[in-house]
Structure 1
Amino acid sequence: MPKGSFVGDVAKDLGLDLPALRDRGAFVVDKGRTQYFFLDLQNGHLSIKERVDREEICAAAATCVINFEILVKNPMKLYKGEVQVQDINDNSPSFPERKSVLEISEYTPPGTRFPLEKAQDPDIGVNSLQNYECSETHYFTLDVKNGDDGVKYPELILQRSLDREEQAAHNLTLTATDNGSPMKSGSTTIQIIVLDGNDNAPEFTQSVYKVTVREDMAVGSRVLQVTATDRDEGPNAEVKYSFFKIPEEFDKTFKLDPESGEIEIKEKLNFEEQTFYELHVQARDAGGLSSHSKVLIKVADVNNHIPEIVITSVFSSVPEDTALGTVIAIFNVQDRDSGANGEVRCSIAERLPFRLEKTFDNYYSVVTAEELDREKVSEYNVTVRAADGGSPSLWSSAVLALRVLDVNDNAPVFAEARYSARLPENNAAGALVLTVRAADADWGQNARVRYRLSEGRVRGAPLSSYVSVQAETGALYALRSFDYEEVREVGLWVRAEDGGAPALSSNVSVRLVIVDENDNAPQVLYPPPAPAPGAGWAGVELAPRSAEPGALVAKVVAVDADAGQNAWLSYELAKATEPGLFRVGLHSGEVRTARFPLARDAARQSLVVVVKDHGRPALSATATLTVVLAESVAELLSELGSAAAAPGEPAGSLTRWLVVAVAAVSCLFLAFLLLLLALRLRRWRRSQLLAAGSGALRGVPASHFVGIDGVRAFLHSYSHEVSLTADSRKSQLRLSGGSCCDTLPARAPAEVPGHLIPTGDHVDENGRQVSFQVR
């Protein structure tokens, strides 16, 4: 059946619908041998994948069954199946040979049986071999017997006596047939040869055989072939050949094949020893009759002696600094031939750094022709070739093994042009930094490399107190713990020196980079640390209750002594009186309002900001800010005053002065706001005010200023510091409003008793003129 033919409906037999069969991924299990069937998931049919040959799979078995397994997944289940292959008559009976020969003596009595070769038919049943038939003849008949194994065996029976003189050969046709549909058959031809009696002696084709051979003919070569014929038939015509009464040494030199009459050489011929051979050959049939012939073999002289090279003296070891023209070997050449066959010419390969010089007679010297370099070639096999003048020329060769001895002519070479390594700070003393490698192309002691450090200093201390190098291995070790904040890079030189005399050396640069580790916590620069209890307030910021979301309240400034990622800082609001009122910029540290302040929010807000770096593990620091929510300066002062008057807090008089000062500043701030509104209505006035400004403020945008009577003040960026002294105690109040510059805080002013400095006339909210600068 052709490929793809239907075999069976697996889906129906297993009771599975096609979607389930596909979803569960059913397939025929591959057993590692020829897979004859496959499962078609489109229709659930088992089909033929490879063409099935019953005779190949099951041979002569009566029943041919192919087993297969189908695996279905989800859930997994294995089904076993079998396919029976039915035989068809696709093979004809056949004989091993299309023609066979049967020899029968003419004296064989009638009734004698002669077994014949049986035919083969790989089919089974009626499709296999069933019968034999033979062509008609008066001398033979065919008999077919059934063996114990059920196989039919044909035999030929002689019916009447044979006469070779009447008919020397009989040709029969044996045919084997089966009973298949259609019937098939096969045949073979049997030739029967009638053998005669022995009544004739063998006769040679020549009475004398002559041949000339070369003395260099190879052993086993054929010299000639003698031939004798016998007019009889059958065994009486079979002739055997042999030497007849020849010298023993001739019998060792030549060999005669008794069946074919071929004469071969058993050992090497030598013209100088034997130039001619005379042999006698006998031919004898099975009946004992024989005849003789003579064989004459002449040996032809050839150039069969190769030159012989005799090494007289050779220096097997040669230093690589050997001078040119130095003799390293002497040899002579001999050839037993004479004349041109004995004239010898010697040569060596031109690519070698040597040359040949003929001294006298057949003596030659091998001398150095080029400088030797052991690092390029450490050993030479110098092949000396000697050829004579014969035709064809014979040659021989000899190999001189020369070893080049090392001289210290190569300095150590480092594996890299320069080395660099990264070492984390705070390393353990004795830590391995890196290993430098240097190779020396020389050999032995000349190639033994030792390492040492060149002199140098690091931060005023000897280099050897920081690092060391292992002399044998080149391993570089750190002798102390490095601090990235002190030493960030160390440059040094390592020297490699070989063990030659004199020693050769080379240097390599090594750059040791100290890698920063997160060993420094962030340091908060602003707000400053809280003072001692009772010393006043630190990090107090003002936020109006009318501040909109996103208004800048304060800025936390911190630095980290580390580098890179370890110095990247982030800010988080860790704790707050009202968690949702303020937020902190992750990377800027700016404290801004997150929503509108509510009336229920406490006037005094305490914020704890955590500053973290990005090291692993991360280190952190905290900053504490006090933010006062005040709609007016009076509320601010009241809040600070109440806080100052709390039990256990001294310096009440100082607080009162502080409240007065803050109230004055707040009034000034409100006046500024009113003036700003007036200026926006009078734009022409602003241009005159800006023109009258000083050159120092000329680059600042006009929107940042307001002017009254020539007084200009910043509105969007301001900072007031109040220092009041009472009872030898100092209190500082820092007020910020609007926005703040992204800079570090300025240095604190000198400690001078707080006083008010008049700067100009301003009108407060009650119409009173107030003019002062709080310092």
Structure 2
Amino acid sequence: MYSARRRWGRRQRVLLWGVLLAAWEAAWGQLRYSVPEEMPKGSFVGDVAKDLGLQIPPLSDRGVRVISEGRTQYFALHGKTGHLMTAERIDREQLCRLVEKCVLRCELIVEGEMKVYEIQVEITDINDNAPSFREAEKDLRLSETAAIGARIPLPRALDPDLRRNSLQNYELSGDEHFSLAVQTGPGGDQRPELVLAKALDREEAAFHELVLRAMDGGDPARTGTARIRVTVLDANDNAPVFSQAEYTVRVAEDVPVGSVLVTVTATDPDEGLNGQVKYSFQTVSLKASEIFHLDSETGAITLLQNLDLEEDNSYELEVQARDGGDLSDTTKVAITVTDVNDNVPEISVRSALSEISEDAPSETVVALLHVHDRDSGANGEVRCSLDGDVPFRLESSQGSYYRVVTARELDREQQSEYNVTVRASDGGWPALQSSRVLALRVLDVNDNAPVFSQERYIMQISENHASCNEFEEVPAGVVHEEILMERKLVGFF
């Protein structure tokens, strides 16, 4: 008796709390309702007029209307009863596919009183979806030599419903050769596997027909099925074997696109499907997969893009040969790219003079140059020289550096400007060349005294001439009776 009174009192308190909560929500202009999905249009959702304390007769006069979020109006207000009704059929999985709690919001507007009430309607899930397989039929192939306990992943079913209405378990029906195991994934998803329970014998049964069922926990439960057909393969006694454990190929970097670089070959003595070999890349970098193509039928590896040794000088590919019974062998293909002389030497002027004094001593550094060739081997070996007969020479400095220095004294009076051409040539055949011109101006120094055009001047003068301005030069070889004066110029002046 005492226990029954306690339960009755508890129910009274819960009911009172619900009434108080509804009154509190209504006072704040907010209502919450719940309705199952897939209800027909016009289904009852809630008594809005009663919950808000609105009088029914004058509702239409007040301009009361319901507005839903979004373009689709899922709810409407019945003008005579004040009930909130569904205006469309609601599919929870379509509206809230990735959300467990599906809530639709709308607003009740009372234009006459200029009031707005928010209404939240939770759409609850019903078991309206059966588990379904993406593939209704699945073909599997299993060798008759497969070991007991071998596991093969089976297709998984999907059910968009929630909780108990969603996928719960799997069942397998067929024959005694197979059983079902269900693994639980990291996210709690179920992953069915086919387990070989009894040894296969192709001569006894070449095919096995199985049915995989997926069931949810709804009431009543819904199921989905997939047909599993297992083909028993003849014993694959021999695996493919490559003719070489490793293929080594040297390819010039200018080989044309589309060229066959190497053909790998694997043989399998089995007959039929077990002897048919397919080739594929087992391990290959993303870049190599864009450069090389492997023919799955012939094993030929062809070039898809131009090679460039300066970017990559070698590639390593791992090729697999697999027969129809899933036996395989692997081989390695090492491709080495050889250089061709496709880069000209590059001359960089690190430092240079534009002017030099004519009295600069020999070995004066005029320019510092750096020479580089991206090719390798002899194609990348660079020799430098100067064009013409110039008073300069090249000296090798550190690494790939050269210095241009004066080879002898300069004379501005003989040549005031030089355009020194530096030429670089690589060791390829034919050799590639490049050049740079260094412009250099020679500055003057006072290294020359004035010079007369003659060492002696001979003149004659009459005794009555008072001015030196009337002196006349005596022609060479002529003797006059007048006084002959001969003086060295310096002494005369």
TM-score, length basis structure 1? 0.30
TM-score, length basis structure 2? 0.42
Higher RCO (CA 8 Å, separation ≥ 6 residues): 2
Please identify the structure whose Cα radius of gyration is greater: 1
